[in-house]
Amino acid sequence: MLRYYFDVVCPYSYLLMPEVEAGEDAGTPVEWVPFELRPAPDPLPDPRGTYIRDHWRDHVYPLALAYEIEIHVPVHQPRSTLVLAAGLWAHQQGAGRAWRTAAQRSFFVEGRDVSDERALRRMARECGLDASAAVAAAWDPALHTRLRALRAEAAAIGVHGVPTLAVDGQPVFFGAPPPGRVAAALAGWDGSATQLIGRFPTG
């Protein structure tokens, strides 16, 4: 089982996710694990600050061009607690992939604040889910507790950022490599962490 740790407000999670989904479609079992990058009270970056501007110019946009994926620097930098909690609920409804797709398109292409209830309702309708139930799930304390538990479990095995691939409780790769690297690593993979680690060059 491959574990894919992600946050829907992380551009690298967004860029890499199609290759992981393609691996899943080809037969690789994948567990999709939400990992909130900046839970409260961690500070949020200024969406118009130097860090966001320079990082996107120097790193995100060049990689997006290589992946041929549309992405725009977000207008907002919200916490992802609500959208990830609703995503846990959507997964229970059999719409986990649809929710991730809708959330990332809303954030990175349409420029919406995915912590806003109106955006959550819109995403739910796109996924064929009940909008009011999605908002209720977003605020569900039990799902917030689950998010914190997943993050703590991830940190305990050495996951400190996303996207991260892990197998058997062991991180095997962190970050978004050039296009095709993950797809090649998963092709013919025997399921062991050792083999997968060996398929990612360290240099």
Retrieve residue 1's tokens.
């089982």
153: in domain:
yes
Q: Which domain holds residue 155?
A: 2-198
Distance, in Å, from the CA atom of 21 to the CA atom of 28, rounded to the nearest integer, reads 9
Closest-CA residue to 102 (of 81, 128, 77, 136): 128
The CATH number that applies at residue 19 is: 3.40.30.10
Distance, in Å, from the CA atom of 199 to the CA atom of 31, rounded to the nearest integer, reads 20
Q: How confident is the model at residue 170 (pLDDT cuts 50, 70, 90)?
A: very high
156: in domain:
yes
144: in domain:
yes
81: in domain:
yes
Q: How confident is the model at residue 200 (pLDDT cuts 50, 70, 90)?
A: confident
56: in domain:
yes
203: in domain:
no
Number of domains in the chain: 1
Question: What length is written for the chain?
Answer: 203
Distance, in Å, from the CA atom of 196 to the CA atom of 30, rounded to the nearest integer, reads 14
189: in domain:
yes
What pTM was computed for the model?
0.96
DSSP calls for 76-90:
----SHHHHHHHHHH
